[in-house]
Amino acid sequence: MDTAEHAVYRAAIQGDRDAFERVIRLTSRQLFAIAYGILQNREEAEDVVQDTFVKAWKARWRIRDSAKLPAWLSTIARHRARDMARKRKPERLPENFESTEAVELEGATGERADLDHEVRSALAQLPELHRVAVTLRYFEDLDYGTIERTLGLTNGALRGILGRALGLMRKRLKPALATAG
Amino acid sequence: MLMATTHEQLDELLAADLHDELTTAERDEFHAHLVECAECRVAFQEGKTMNRILNETMSEKKADPGFEQRMVSQFRDRVPKRSGLIALVTDLMRVRAVQLTAVAAVLLALAQMGKMITGESATPKMRSDNSVALAESQYRSEQEKPGATLQAAGVLGKNDGRTKTVADVSRPAEAPPPPPPMDAVTSTAPKPVEALRRVPSSLASAKTKKAEFKDEKTPASTVEAVEQSEPETSGTPSATNAAANRKLVRNATAELEVASFDESVQKITAFAAEEKGYVSTTSSEKQANGKLRGEIVVKVLPENLDRFLGKLRGIGELKNQALTTEDVTKTYFDTESRLKNARLMEQRLIEILKTKSKDVADLLEVEKELGRVREEIETMQGELKFMDSQVAFATVTITLAEKNMNLPAAFLLKERAQLSLYATEVEKTYNDIKALASPKVQITNAQIDRDNTGRVSARLSLLLAPDESEAVINQIKAMARVENFQVTTDRVSQGGDGLGENAKTERDKVELNITLSRDEQEIALQTTSLRIQTPEVNDKTKQLRALAEQQGGRIRTSSFSRDPNGREYSNVSLRVPMKNYNALIQSLNGLGKVENVSVRRDDRPNSQTDEANAPADVSIQVYSQGNIVSADTGIWATLRRTIGQGAAALMWSVRMIGVAIAFLAPWALILAAIGWVLRRVSRARTARKEKTDETIDAQ
């Protein structure tokens, strides 16, 4: 992390609104990826990111080490997303969610839609952290270093997580991949 | 080996390779492995495909380009910017150092408040400074007013030194009007004294002294100041003049201890003559021990009073002295002016009597009034005369007492006797003592108590004439056994204390207190216990009783028992007078083998005991050797005992089991309950988890 970024984090923690807005610009995409990784829903993920920043602003004096601000933000986002997922469980049962999704997907070719659906379900079956790591990687094409910082992981751990995640998905998608390949 | 690890780490390496995160060495190694391993090659192909698909599908769903801007603007909407000061304060409050400072400040404030409430602060000092400043400012403001200076000076003069210095300090700087305040006070001081001196002479024209004063008060403020400063000017020459003009009644009292009363009276008379006085009264009184005590009242001229008192000290030892002065000036002059008025009235009445002598009734009325006025005049004249005499001479009251006033005149011997008796028949002895009553033997108190166990005790108090006392006491002593007799004699001095070598000694009535108890209750002087072994217990016991009877003993308790082994016991306890004790013990030897003799003697060193008649207790156990084999042995007895013991042991173990259950059962129940709850909770949790998994699957 460069010193300029660090200075921005520190200013944001000390209550500089401009610096905090800069932090929003820097981290919102990653947080969105995390939230989406957990919730698999754009609107909800966006709400989570929004809530995360409001909450972080109000509780910013709690963080001591400014370098850990991104990791702290992602922790908040993950908690928030998990809360939301828990809350919506009963009302997600109605079938109209599936139907809207289906309508949306109809735009793509039949084969692509199938593959897309399978990828999604394979992703959904991964453990939460794996899902988040995969989403971060493929959404924003982030390098491992940034992902590690965002999720507060070591290099070895992240490699293991991504490897296992992709391996699992690969096994699940094997038939589909065979046809696609 | 290396290949094997690579193979095992396939997933990880594959992912890193696809994400371009492998080091060059790792990549080379991985690709080398791919060439060799067909399985991994397939996996690599699949991974590549999946990576592509993921890249395609996921990038579609990622945040749109305007996402960041949207986030920022929404944040601005949701968290409005606070105005400068509040923001600053709230931000400040979040800094740790500021929080600590705030807490410290609050604590300090509380401590200060507590101090203020309990009044422990240093504020009084400040307040005194304030008051000085206030006085100064008042003084200044009054200086500006003409004519008020003196008043202010008077007020300040009355105050303590501090405020006075303020006035002094401020005076030279301010350059006050012509007469400086303090000078004014001293210069005008004699004025009222003169006025006072003039009072008696000017009474004829003025009605009251107050009115006279008013005339003198030319500038009101000056006199006021003077009046206030007057108490301070005492001690200056003018003050003595004032005192001379006053009507003062001086009185003194003195108490002296002298060697001889008569000599002292003569000396005092001489002193009184020297000081132009006289002895007005003397009185004396002779004490029982021949010493004199008395009072002398001397009148001397007031101015010689102090010298006279000084001379008095030479006569003997001064015990105490008091000097009082009463100011009767006001009463005196009031009476005098009333007298003047009364005289005028008399004059007028006489005029009326002379000129208007027409109506007899009126004349009578005037005559009557004249009589009343004259009576009044006489009373007032008398009062004035009395006061004059009081003022003219000082009264000295001297109390004289000869030395060793308290030497005793006589002694009284008071005898008090305490007699404790043991009687066989308490009631009879009690009545016998009561029968002794005569004018010289008075019974002051007699009571007899009987409690529910049949114990009887009596208490008597007698007053005996001194000459009869010994005979009566001996007579009573003969009636019963004396346990204790004590006499205390007090020598009481009368009319003082000390040795009193010449005093007479008299014997007073003798006070005798008697306690009567039944002899059964008496504690034996000697207690003996012994055992006698003999084959015929019954016969020997009978013999023992006979022996005891012979020696004047009394059987108190006896018992007989036989145990299952055929052994017989007979317990006898008896009481015998000490004089017969030895004979009894000797005769016991004839009954059988005497064993286990133990003797305890209970000496009472502080009482006079009649030892020959004192009781001795003897408890004797007469017993026989039983059968060698007791009835309680044999096979059946043993069997019975064994079964009994076994049953008892069984019962005991049952009881112990009960106790153990009582100890453990509650805990076992509690543990079971906790286990049940935990199981319920965990089951509920797994059920919920399964449900969520199902829903996820459903998605």
Q: Measured between CA atoms, how close is B44 to chain A, in angstroms?
A: 10
Which among B11, B95, B699 has the least Cβ separation from residue A163?
A: B11
Name the E strands within B135-247: none
State whether residue A117 sits within 8 Å of chain B by CB: no
Picking from A125, A167, A177, the nearest residue to B49 by CB comes out as A177
Convert the pLDDT of each residue in B187-219 to its tens digit: 444 444 444 444 444 444 444 444 444 444 444
B73 at the A interface (CB within 8 A)?
A: no
User: At A42, is the pLDDT very low, low, confident or very high (cuts 50, 70, 90)?
Assistant: confident
**B63 closest CB neighbour out of A29, A93, A144:** A29
Q: Which of B9, B46, B87 sits opposite A170 (nearest CB)?
A: B46
CB contact A175 to B (< 8 Å): no
pLDDT at B160 over 60: no
The encoded tokens of residue B389 equal 């005499």
More reliable by pLDDT, B85 or B123: B85
Q: Least CB-CB distance to A170: which of B50, B74, B95?
A: B50
CB distance from B19 to chain A under 8 Å?
yes
From the CA of A9, how many Å to the nearest CA of chain B? Answer: 16
- In this prediction, residue B658 carries a pLDDT of 96
The answer, yes or no, to whether residue B270 has pLDDT greater than 50, is: yes
Contact B71 A143 (CB under 8 A): no
User: According to the model, what pLDDT value does residue B82 have?
Assistant: 66
**Tokens representing B266?**
């003569």
End-to-end CA distance of chain B: 43
pLDDT score of B669: 96
Instruction: Determine the pLDDT at residue A142.
Output: 83
Which residues in chain B have their CB less than 8 angstroms from residue A57's CB? 75, 79
Q: Does residue B695 carry a pLDDT above 80?
A: no
Q: Which residue has the higher pLDDT, B175 or A31?
A: A31
Q: Which residues 46-85 in chain A show a CB within 8 A of chain B?
A: 46, 49-50, 53-54, 57-58, 61
> Which of the residue ranges B59-68, B239-248, B345-354, B532-541 would you say has the lowest mean pLDDT?
B239-248
Can you spell out the DSSP letters for B178-209? SS-HHHHHHHHTHHHHHHHHHHHHHTTT-S-H
Interface test with chain A among B10, B50, B73, by most A beta carbons within 10 Å:
B50
Q: Does B18 touch chain A (CB under 8 A)?
A: yes
Select from B698, B55, B46 the least CA-distant residue to A176.
B46
Give residues 678 to 697 of B whose Cβ lies within 8 Å of A: 692, 695-696
Task: Judge: A54–B57 Cβ closer than 8 Å, yes or no.
Answer: no
Residues B19 and A141: their CA atoms lie apart, in Å, by 9
* B62: contact with A, CB 8 A cutoff: yes
Find, among B390, B273, B268, the residue nearest to B335 by Cα.
Answer: B390
pLDDT of residue B670: 96
Q: For residues B605 and A69, which has the higher predicted lDDT (pLDDT)?
A: A69
**Residue B57 is nearest to which of A53, A89, A116, comparing CB atoms?**
A116
pLDDT level of residue B167 (50, 70, 90 thresholds) = very low
Q: Higher confidence at residue A105 or residue B418?
A: B418
Across the interface, of B15, B78, B95, the residue whose CB is closest to A163 is B15
B499 in A contact zone (CB under 8 Å):
no
Q: Please tell me the predicted confidence (pLDDT) of residue B631.
A: 64
Range of lowest pLDDT (B117-121, B238-242, B675-679): B238-242
CB B251 within 8 A of CB B326: yes
The pLDDT-based confidence of A7 (bands split at 50, 70, 90) is confident
Alpha-carbon distance of B377 to B74, in angstroms, equals 117
Q: Do B12 and A163 touch (CB under 8 A)?
A: yes
Distance from CA of A127 to the nearest CA of B (A): 12
First-to-last C-alpha distance (Å) of chain A? 39
Contacts B12 to A, Cβ<8 Å: 159-160, 162-164
Query: Least CB-CB distance to B75: which of A36, A53, A92?
Result: A53
Distance CA A71, CA A52 (A): 12
Q: Of A136 and B190, which is predicted with more confidence?
A: A136
Torsion sign over Cα B682, B686, B687, B692: positive
Mutate to test the interface with B, among A20, A159, A161 (most CBs of B within 10 A): A159
In angstroms, the Cα distances linking B360 to B156, B348, B356 are 68, 18, 10
ipTM greater than 0.85, yes or no?
no
What's at A45, amino acid-wise? A
pLDDT in the model for residue A94: 45
Q: Do A50 and B13 touch (CB under 8 A)?
A: no
Taking residues B554-568, report their average pLDDT. Answer: 83
Which is it for the CA torsion B421, B423, B426, B432, positive or negative?
A: negative
In DSSP terms, B460 is beta-bridged to: B446, B514
Whole-structure pTM over 0.80, yes or no? no
| pLDDT for residue B163 is more than 60 | no
pLDDT the model gives residue B663:
94
Q: How confident is the model at residue A177 (pLDDT cuts 50, 70, 90)?
A: confident
Chain A within 8 Å of B452 (Cβ-Cβ)?
no
Chain B CB contacts of A170 below 8 Å: 11, 43, 46-47, 50
Strand ordering across the sheet containing B615-623:
B554-562, B568-577, B615-623, B526-533, B593-601
pLDDT tens-digit readout, B344-393: 988 888 888 887 667 778 788 888 888 999 999 999 999 989 888 888 88
- Cβ distance of B68 and A24 shorter than 8 Å: yes
Query: Is the Cβ pair B696, A124 closer than 8 Å?
Result: yes
User: Given pLDDT bands bounded at 50, 70 and 90, which one contains residue B230?
Assistant: very low
Q: For chain B, give the longest Cα–Cα distance.
A: 179
Q: How far is A96 from chain B (nearest CA, A)?
A: 12
DSSP string, B139-184: HHHHHHSTT-HHHHHHHHHHS-HHHHHHHHHHHHHH---SS-HHHH
Residue B10 binned pLDDT confidence (cut-offs 50, 70, 90): confident
Percent of chain B with pLDDT over 90: 9
**Between residues B618 and B634, which one has the greater pLDDT?**
B618
Looking at residue B627, its pLDDT comes to 67
Looking at per-residue pLDDT, the higher value among A98 and B617 belongs to B617
Min distance A129 CA to chain B CA atoms (Å): 16
Q: Which residue, among A46, A132, A170, A174, would best test binding to B if mutated, counting the most B CBs under 10 Å from its CB?
A: A170
CA B175 to chain centre: 63
Given a cut of 50, is residue B252 above it in pLDDT? yes
* Chain B neighbors of A137, CB-CB under 8 A: 19
- Residue B181, pLDDT score: 45
Q: Which of B237-246, B283-292, B293-302, B424-433 shows the lowest per-residue confidence on average (mean pLDDT)?
A: B237-246
Strand B504-518 vs strand B410-423: parallel, antiparallel, or unpaired? parallel
Higher-pLDDT residue of B120 and B525 is B525
> What's the gap between Cα A75 and its chain centre?
11
Q: Token pair for residue B9?
A: 């780490």
Query: Is residue B186 over pLDDT 50?
Result: no
